[in-house]
Amino acid sequence: MSRQYWSETVAVATASGTTVASTAVETILVPNVTIPGNFMQDGRTIRIRAFGQYGTTSTPSCVIALRWGGVSGTVLGKTGLNVLTSGVGGGASMTANWSLEAILQTRSNGSSGTIWTMGEVVWYTSTLSTAGTVTQYGMPVALISGTTGAPGTAAAASTVDLTADTALSLTALWSASNAANSIKCDIFTLESLN
């Protein structure tokens, strides 16, 4: 039996986010999106897409996370500590791209609601791709639900309060503070799929 669901764009970034550089502190990539209380009912599914640029020096690592409740809120999904290519034009001259797609689904609502999050982040390099090689095609990494994002860690639903207006945050965390280790988000969309 088919069911008609209407999807809608809930939020978009109308400008690039602030560049996250010269820090080893988890930082918000785009302004928080406020999810209204009781919006995330059972089965409600939202899709987040984000695209941006980055630059590096000395093979740093970077973690991308989605959090419920701001930069110090509950982790909904997180990547592992991804070691990136060294010398990808850093600072203001970011020369490589990254992308994210994630699905968040409400498993149960209420003040102790649960959200399951799955997705991936792809880190591209600044080198032109060559047919027959795989080194320049990008490194996809899992965005793992409710975990530290470490490889081999089991995914789990995140327990959060879904009854109050709450900030949904997309964050980045560099392993080392350096002006050349820089990342920003240029395009961000959040859609309700049902």
Question: What are the residue ranges spanned by the domains of the chain?
Answer: 8-127+138-192
DSSP-derived pairing of the beta strands 27-28 and 33-35? unpaired
- Is the model's pLDDT at 151 over the cut of 90? no
pTM for the structure as a whole: 0.90
Mean pLDDT across the chain: 89
Could you tell me which residue, 50 or 90, shows the higher pLDDT?
50
Q: For residue 132, what pLDDT band results from cuts at 50, 70 and 90?
A: low
pLDDT at 133: 63
Kindly indicate the confidence band of residue 130, based on its pLDDT and cuts at 50, 70 and 90. Answer: low
Q: Radius of gyration over alpha carbons of the chain, in Å?
A: 17
Q: In this predicted structure, what is the pLDDT of residue 1?
A: 46
Asked if residue 193 has pLDDT above 90, the reply is yes
Distances (CA, A) of 165 to 6, 124, 162: 22, 35, 8
pLDDT confidence bin for 86, thresholds 50/70/90: confident
Taking residues 182-190, report their average pLDDT: 96
> What value does the mean pLDDT take over residues 188-192?
96
Output the pLDDT for position 3: 58
